Structure 1
C-alpha cells in the first residue's frame, strides 16, 4: 500500500533502519508481504480498538506482529496512535510527537497534529520532547507494518517514560476524550514479553502475562512486572495504559492471535524473548447464549493452523504434529470435520460428530484421517500439498427433529440413522450442490447411509440436525 508524504520539515528520520528491518524499500516490502501471507488469521470486518504487537527485529518478531496487522487491515483507520516504551530515557512523563511526520524506507507518514495536541494539553507531563524519540526502536518498527496495511491514515507517535499510575489514568482519559467515540482510531501497543530465560520458563511467564491481559487485570500486571516474579514485559507502561483505556470504554473481548518466542526462529532455547499478537475490542452484547459460545477469530485461526500443519507434517514425514493448547474453549469436547479440497474438488473429508477429547486434538486427528484414511481417495502425496486447501468444521451437538420441515438447508447439517446404518452431510453440502431439500435427503439416504433413497420418509428413521462453524 502506498506511503504518505508530508511537506513539513519536522520529519523524524529512522533510528534502526538497516538494523531491525531492511533499509531497502523493496526488500522491506517483500519481507512484510511474506510475514502477512504466512499469518493464518481471518481479517475482521469490524473495527478493533487495540492491537498489541512486538517490537524486536523483524527476523524474530515480524511473523508474530503480522498476525495483528493482518487481522485489522481491512478496516479504514484514519488515526493510529502508537504507544511505545522508552528503552533509553527514564523520564517522568509521556512524550507525544505533535507535528510533521515519521520516515521509514517506505516513505513518510504524517502526524495527526490536532489529535496529538489534544493529548499534550491534558497534563503538564504529557508533552512534546523530540529527544526522547532518539535511538528508540519500539515505536519505529510498528510503522512499516502500518504503511503496508493501511492507506490515507495519520499517526500519533507516543513514547512513554516512567509516569505514575495517576498520570497513566489521566492519559487514558485524554485518549478517550480525543477519540470521542470514533471507530476509525486504532491504538497500537508496542511490547515484548519475557527476556532471556530458557524456553520452558519463558513460556510459563508469558502465559501468566497473556492470561492477565485477557482478564484486564491491570493491578496484577503492574505489581508482578515490577516485582519481576511471574511475568515480564518491556512495554508495561503502554500495556497498562491500553488496559485502563479498555476498562474506561467497556472493551470486553481479547483475542490472542499468536504467541512465539525468538527460539522458534533461531533454534536457541536457552535465552529467548517472548512475543504476542493480541486484539482488544468491544464484543456485541446482543447475541443469544448459543452465539456467545462461538469460536473467536483467534481460536478459528489456531484450529486451522493446527489442521494445516498436521496435514503438512503427516504427508511429508509420516509423523503426527505435536501441539499443546491451554485455551479453555479449545479444550472442550466438540465434534469436528476436516475437509481437503484440491483444485476445488473434494480430496478427503473425515470427522467425528460427537467430540472425543479436546477440540484441538479432534481437529488434529481428523486432519491426519482426511489426508490418509478417507476410503474414497488414495492418501495425499507430497507433490499435491501446494494445491491442497484445508477447511475445518466445528459442530454443535446434534438434536433430533420431528419433521423435515425443521431442516434449513445451508444452515443445518443432517444425520440420518436407521439400525446400524447412518450417514451425515455437513451444512455446506447444500450450498455446494444446489440440491433441493428432497434431493439432499435422498442423496444422504442412498449415498451416505446406504439405505433406500426415500428412507427419510420412514418413521423408523432418526433424523438429527446440527450447525457448524466453517473456516
Structure 2
C-alpha cells in the first residue's frame, strides 16, 4: 500500500477524448442536455460504456443524468482489466487522478478499509495509466459532480470466478447500501467481428446488427432481473463478449446480498439507452455495442 503522493495522469486524453477542458465540458454538457432529465433516479449505481467518446459519449450521458450530485459524496468506479492477468481486484497506487476539467481525489479511508480485507492488491501506476476502463468515466464524473465535495474509489476488476463475484459483491454491498455512495460500473457490450473472435449470428433476427442487438437485449433483460445466476447462465449460453461482465456480476451480487440481509432495499435496474459503433451487414464487418443503465434503491 503506497504512502507517497502518486498522481495518475489523464493518459488517454487527446486520444480517446478531448484534452481541452473547454471542448470537453461543451461535449459533455451537450450530451447530458440531449439525454434529458432523470427518468430512473436518483441512481445508486449506473452501467455505462468506456470506449472513445466519439463512439459512446452520447450513450453514457443517459446513465450519468441519473446521478444526483447533491446527495453523492463518494463515487466507486469498477472497471474491467483489459491488459493484465488479474484473478481478483486491484486498487490504484495514486492519491489523485487528473482530468482535463480538474483533479479527483481517491478516498484513502475507503481504500484502507478495502486493503484490510486482504482481498485487494495494489496495481502499478503503469497498469493504472495503461487501462482505459476507469479513466473514460472520470471526465463524466468530474462534470456531473462539479461544485460538490466528493471522493472517488477506483477498483480494477479482474477475471473473477462466479464464486469471487459473490465474495466481492458481499464485501461491497455495505457501500452500495450507503445513500452517500454511487457505483459506476464500466462496461461495453457485444464486441462482434472476426477481430474479436466472436461472430454469433441469429439469421432469424434479420441483419447481423439486428442479431447483435437482440443478443444484447437478452443480456440486458437478464441484468434487469437482478439475479446473478441468470446473467451467468446467459453468458454461458451465448458467450457474449461483454467486457465488463465481471464488474456487472459484482454489482448483481451486491444487490442480491442486500436482498438477503433482511434490510428493505427495493432495487430496480433499467436500461435507458443502447447504441452500436456501426451497423454490421457482412461477416467481414465489426462493431462494439454500448448501453446505459441506472439502478435505483428505495
Provide TM-score, normalisation by structure 2: 0.83
Larger Rg: 1
Q: CA deviation at 1:187?
A: 0.5
Which whole-Å CA distance do the structure 1 matches of 2:127 and 2:163 have between them? 21
Q: CA deviation at 1:174?
A: 2.0
- Aligned residue for 2:170? 173
Give the SS at the match of 2:293: strand
Give the SS at the match of 1:19: coil
- Aligned residue for 1:274? 289
Q: Quickly say closer, same or farther: Cα 1:219–1:132, change in 2 above 3 A.
A: farther
Q: Deviations over 1:267-293 (max 9, x none)?
A: 66542211111111224xxxxxxxxxx
**Residue 79 of structure 2 contacts residue 155 of structure 2 at CA under 8 Å; is this kept in 1?**
yes
Which whole-Å CA distance do the structure 2 matches of 1:166 and 1:121 have between them? 20
Number of paired residues?
269
Which whole-Å CA distance do the structure 2 matches of 1:88 and 1:246 have between them? 28
**Residue 119 of structure 1 contacts residue 175 of structure 1 at CA under 8 Å; is this kept in 2?**
no
Q: Quickly say closer, same or farther: Cα 1:173–1:230, change in 2 above 3 A.
A: closer
Q: Trace 1:303-314 onto structure 2 (pairs within 5 A).
A: none
Q: CA deviation at 1:25?
A: 1.3
Q: CA deviation at 1:223?
A: 4.0
Q: Deviations over 1:84-103 (max 9, x none)?
A: 00110122221012651111
Q: Quickly say closer, same or farther: Cα 1:223–1:120, change in 2 above 3 A.
A: farther
Provide TM-score, normalisation by structure 1: 0.54
Q: Deviations over 1:390-427 (max 9, x none)?
A: xxxxxxxxxxxxxxxxxxxxxxxxxxxxxxxxxxxxxx
Q: Deviations over 1:441-468 (max 9, x none)?
A: xxxxxxxxxxxxxxxxxxxxxxxxxxxx
Which whole-Å CA distance do the structure 2 matches of 1:259 and 1:75 have between them? 27
Give the SS at the match of 1:258: strand
Which whole-Å CA distance do the structure 1 matches of 2:70 and 2:236 have between them? 36
Q: Which moved more, 1:165-174 or 1:30-39?
A: 165-174
- Aligned residue for 2:101? 106
- Aligned residue for 2:249? 240
Q: CA deviation at 1:189?
A: 0.1
Unaligned runs of 5+ in 1: 1-7, 284-471
Q: CA deviation at 1:75?
A: 3.8
Residue 186 of structure 1, aligned match among 182, 196, 199: 182
Which whole-Å CA distance do the structure 2 matches of 1:47 and 1:200 have between them? 32
Which whole-Å CA distance do the structure 1 matches of 2:62 and 2:218 have between them? 21
Which whole-Å CA distance do the structure 1 matches of 2:270 and 2:234 have between them? 22
- RMSD of aligned Cα (Å): 2.1
Q: Trace 1:61-460 onto structure 2 (pairs within 5 A).
A: 61-97=56-92, 100-123=95-118, 125-130=119-124, 131-150=126-145, 151-177=148-174, 179=175, 181-197=177-193, 198-226=208-236, 229=238, 231-250=240-259, 251-263=266-278, 270-283=285-298
Q: Which moved more, 1:93-102 or 1:26-35?
A: 93-102
Which whole-Å CA distance do the structure 2 matches of 1:181 and 1:55 have between them? 25
- Aligned residue for 1:411? none
Instruction: Indicate the structure whose relative CO is greater, using CA pairs within 8 Å and at least 6 residues apart.
Output: 2
Q: Deviations over 1:324-372 (max 9, x none)?
A: xxxxxxxxxxxxxxxxxxxxxxxxxxxxxxxxxxxxxxxxxxxxxxxxx
Which whole-Å CA distance do the structure 2 matches of 1:74 and 1:93 have between them? 30
Which whole-Å CA distance do the structure 1 matches of 2:239 and 2:169 have between them? 26
Which whole-Å CA distance do the structure 2 matches of 1:32 and 1:268 have between them? 28
- Aligned residue for 2:203? none
**Residue 47 of structure 1 contacts residue 184 of structure 1 at CA under 8 Å; is this kept in 2?**
no
Q: CA deviation at 1:226?
A: 4.8
**Residue 202 of structure 1 contacts residue 272 of structure 1 at CA under 8 Å; is this kept in 2?**
no
Unaligned runs of 5+ in 2: 194-207, 260-265
